[in-house]
Structure 1
Amino acid sequence: MSNPEDRQYLIDFSSVRGGDIVQEIHRAIALVSPDRPTAQLFTGHVGSGKSTELLRLKASLEQARFHVVYFQSDQDLEMGNVEVTNVLMAITRRVSQSLEDIGIRLRPSYFQRLLQDLAQVFQHPIDLSEVSFSVGMASVTAEARESPERLSQLQQYLEPRTRSIIDAINTELLQPATERLAIQGKRGLAVIVDNLDRMDTLRRNGNRLQSEYLFVGRGEQLKGLACHVVYTIPLELVFSDELPQLINRFGNRPQVLPMVPVQNQAGDRYEPGMALLRQMALARAFPELPPVERLNRVEAVFEDLATLDRLCYISGGHMRNLMRLMYGCLLKQDPTFSRDTLESVIRNERDDLASLIDDQEWRLLLEAAARGRVQSDEDYNVLLRSLYLFEYRAPERRWFGINPVLKETETYQRLTGPSSNGDP
């Protein structure tokens, strides 16, 4: 992260996640193929810290003298209805806006005409002499998102023009931008499209998942841009029967960000993961302190170290879970957080989650945990999307474990016996 204040909160978990995914993506762009466009895929559980890692990638690429455009796609797209042209137009707008911010003002003639045509379709005049291209595009996008009918109109207009849109993006925007950036000393242009993993799980176009349709069926078009692009994708694609086609389309495997392990596959406490999670929790209170001094101040935030460890373990190494549990404690009392307060928050989390799981899902959960892997079908995708099941990775293998909070439910205890709790 480029902001020094933000870096104070950043904990590097790569040592317990089986490798540094950000470094691998960085190397593919900056070292292996700096002058040849790349398209890479990045995924993981919702809330696992993907955006933080992507912002770290942005900072590292900027240090390597790339101009990086990072944006959260759910601010531009309707996640229940995503077409390839919607993604391409969002990239076009965001790149144009970013270039305008640094004084590179391009006026691609194809998109000038396209915007005028769309303004007529929507009966919403746009005077491009008065506004920048990115502002005009934002106006059209916002209007399309106001109703399903308007969005359908936009998609029907753009779809038959997909090939010409890609050609225009490359010849009238990306290639001229790269040349102008080179004059400013930049090595190239990279676009990071975050939050595409949040698209709705819908079936369309021959019973394909929306994500399969977009990234497998239309993958050649998504990778056809004349710059480096990193797309986030739904985790379900990694377990889809269409994974081989996805790899073939993009020429590389999706990079998966796993959870931070709090125990190993045998159920023994994993101290390296726990140590880093302690630092993540304490950094919220003492961002300016070095790691050892943070630990010396633990009782300013938690009743004792055991209470902090309880928080770290029950989170399952899921970033958002850990922060949500801490927030739940803060709603109940000021620090120092007592063990009783934390246990009350955990019980609420446990009961809320357990109420959503049916008998079939419990059976699948126990089978997946016993095998340490999942099958490629919709039932297991539900377990992963719902955060009932977490993926962990080590340098030598990966495995799946049940969300620790579910191990404390009466149902789990009944099905497996009290000795299966696994709480360190």
Structure 2
Amino acid sequence: MDLKTKKKYYNLCDPYEPLMPEDQRNVDLDFLGEEGGRPVRGINWGDMLLKEITFPDRPIYKLFTGHRGSGKTTEFKKLAGRLYDPEECNLFPVLIDAEEIIDLENPIAVPDIISSIIYSTEKAIIQEEGGNTEKALDEGYLKRLWNWMKNTDIELNKAELAIPSAGKLVYEMKTRPTLRQHVRSIIVSNFSGFIKEARNELESLNVNVLQKFGRDGIVIIFDSLEKLEGTSKNWYDVLESAELVFKVNAAYMRLPVHVLYTVPPALSTRITDIDFMPMIKVYDRNKNRHEPGLAAARELIRRRVPKDILQELFGLNPWNRIDDLILWSGGYPRDMLHMLQKIIAVNDHPLSDSDFEHIIAYIRNQYRRIITGDALHWLANVATTKDLTIEGDVHLRAADRMLNQHVVLSYLNNDSWYDLHPTVYQIPNIKKAIQDLEKELQRGEKNHEGSGST
């Protein structure tokens, strides 16, 4: 295979590229599964979200999570298209990418999120009208907010806190921590007034989309907040700020319009009523192959790499090795594509056993580096029970890191269940921790039997 061909398919398998719904590589997993049975991710996620938004008479507040690279953004784009369709829902969806307007490496706060929502909604309405976005935003809500804050605190009039224009306030807050903290402190001093004004603004915008476009209401989809993670120095501060925003201050995050927020997977152990979009189920809890899931994953690969190229990569009968790749990924699309890129990049094809083992070892070592000693017992418990049992702060902190780093993957049958990433089972410390826990459980059963017979 020449370099040009390798490069073409390597980039078609980019695990970090969110796909547009119309992209030929996109596989609608909601419609793949057992005949007459459940889809390969447990439920039809698109239909479920659509119904939860459109059925209630009152605005919904929804928290949603999933591992990065599991297909959430593509699902939200499809959902936005269905919500916008006049024949289906006739709503006005506003899809927000948190990476563009929020500093995801530092703690967040309610004012950051609320001001970003109003800014993004105003911008979407102006774009729908075909107006001058920059000029209109400079004269809208952010201008009134900025003027109010300058009148409240004269410090904002100093040069070091100045901004180019009111319409750029959200972006300036993202990139300038000093300004962000100052804005937060001003808003906190008159928090109820800020919330009231924000709600009034959204209600007014909701009326606008009805009067101007004949739309039946606004739907906010705030994507990419699951990437809120921080650095090694402030990891827990960042996570705790998300818990404060979406749990303690949930009442302020409920808006007079429909709103769906993504949140870090770690919050699923801290906040109830978070929907967790699972992996493709390629095996069951007992490690038996799940053929519908394998078929769906094969289709995901086929959409990127045609059969003749797969035969060049793997040999004339590529499917056994491709199934091995899928099973080693645990049904995690990002790792599946990551391994496929590694396979395309090797020097010699068809892929040899030693090259394949090297690629699996590479993935395993990526996980080994992020597993710390205090997480071993909890991970062994997940491997044994297929559940997220939390016993104290040590377990909670282990769960936070291991869920966010997709060391632990989520699956769904009738009930949700969890498992370690398949490569993690090969890590010696994990193997030993599982063996030790199994022995401990066996001793407990024998002691229980002994006490029952006396």
Deviation digits for residues 127-166 of structure 1 (CA, Å, limit 9, x no counterpart): 87xxxxxxx33x2233333332222112112223433333
**Residues of 1 paired with 2:20 and 2:40: CA distance?**
25
| Aligned Cα root-mean-square deviation (Å) | 3.1
Say whether residues 1:353 and 2:382 are aligned partners: no
Q: Which moved more, 1:164-173 or 1:373-382?
A: 164-173
Over 3 Å counting, the alpha-carbon distance change for 1:335 and 1:187 in structure 2 is farther
Q: Which moved more, 1:52-61 or 1:112-121?
A: 112-121
Cα shift at 1:102: 1.0
Over 3 Å counting, the alpha-carbon distance change for 1:126 and 1:148 in structure 2 is closer
Aligned to 2:74: 52
Aligned to 2:112: 86
Cα shift at 1:254: 1.7
Cα shift at 1:386: 2.4
Say whether residues 1:74 and 2:74 are aligned partners: no
Q: Is contact 2:25-2:300 (8 Å) kept?
A: no
Deviation digits for residues 243-280 of structure 1 (CA, Å, limit 9, x no counterpart): 3xxx5xxxxx2211011122111111111111111111
Q: Is contact 1:70-1:194 (8 Å) kept?
A: yes
Say whether residues 1:266 and 2:286 are aligned partners: yes
Aligned to 2:321: 307
Cα shift at 1:7: 5.4
Question: Superposed, which structure 2 residues align to 1:177-196 within 5 Å?
Answer: 177-196=206-225
Aligned to 2:257: 227
Aligned to 2:197: 168
Larger radius of gyration: 2
Say whether residues 1:238 and 2:268 are aligned partners: yes
Q: Is contact 1:77-1:86 (8 Å) kept?
A: yes
Aligned to 1:151: 180
**Residues of 2 paired with 1:109 and 1:402: CA distance?**
49
Give the alignment partner of residue 326 of structure 1, picking from 331, 336, 340: 340
Q: Is contact 1:2-1:59 (8 Å) kept?
A: no
Q: Is contact 1:48-1:320 (8 Å) kept?
A: yes
SS, match of residue 23 in structure 2: helix
Aligned to 1:256: 276
Q: What is the one-letter code of the residue matched to 1:227? A: V
**Residues of 1 paired with 2:158 and 2:81: CA distance?**
39
Cα shift at 1:122: 5.7
Q: Is contact 2:209-2:217 (8 Å) kept?
A: no
Aligned to 2:12: none
Aligned to 2:52: 28
**Residues of 2 paired with 1:297 and 1:330: CA distance?**
10
Gaps of 5+ in 2: 1-17, 32-38, 151-155, 391-395, 439-454
Q: Is contact 2:19-2:26 (8 Å) kept?
A: no
Which TM-score applies when normalising by structure 1? 0.81
**Residues of 1 paired with 2:147 and 2:83: CA distance?**
36
Q: What is the one-letter code of the residue matched to 1:363? A: H
Cα shift at 1:189: 1.1
Cα shift at 1:215: 0.6
Over 3 Å counting, the alpha-carbon distance change for 1:163 and 1:349 in structure 2 is same
**Residues of 1 paired with 2:371 and 2:148: CA distance?**
50
Q: What is the one-letter code of the residue matched to 1:232? A: T
Aligned to 1:409: 427
Over 3 Å counting, the alpha-carbon distance change for 1:85 and 1:356 in structure 2 is closer
Q: Is contact 1:37-1:226 (8 Å) kept?
A: yes
Cα shift at 1:52: 1.9
Over 3 Å counting, the alpha-carbon distance change for 1:367 and 1:382 in structure 2 is same
Deviation digits for residues 91-114 of structure 1 (CA, Å, limit 9, x no counterpart): 111111111101176777664332
Deviation digits for residues 396-415 of structure 1 (CA, Å, limit 9, x no counterpart): x2222111112233445566
Q: What is the one-letter code of the residue matched to 1:56? A: K
SS, match of residue 19 in structure 1: coil
**Residues of 2 paired with 1:113 and 1:398: CA distance?**
46
Give the alignment partner of residue 128 of structure 2, picking from 77, 96, 102: 102
Aligned to 1:250: none
Q: Which moved more, 1:296-305 or 1:119-128?
A: 119-128
Q: Is contact 2:267-2:400 (8 Å) kept?
A: no
Give the alignment partner of residue 10 of structure 1, picking from 3, 27, 40: 27
Over 3 Å counting, the alpha-carbon distance change for 1:200 and 1:2 in structure 2 is closer
Cα shift at 1:301: 4.9
Cα shift at 1:70: 0.5
Gaps of 5+ in 1: 129-135, 248-252, 287-293
Over 3 Å counting, the alpha-carbon distance change for 1:153 and 1:343 in structure 2 is same
Q: Is contact 2:379-2:430 (8 Å) kept?
A: no
**Residues of 2 paired with 1:61 and 1:301: CA distance?**
41
Which TM-score applies when normalising by structure 2? 0.76
Over 3 Å counting, the alpha-carbon distance change for 1:309 and 1:121 in structure 2 is farther
Q: Which moved more, 1:145-154 or 1:169-178?
A: 169-178
SS, match of residue 265 in structure 1: coil
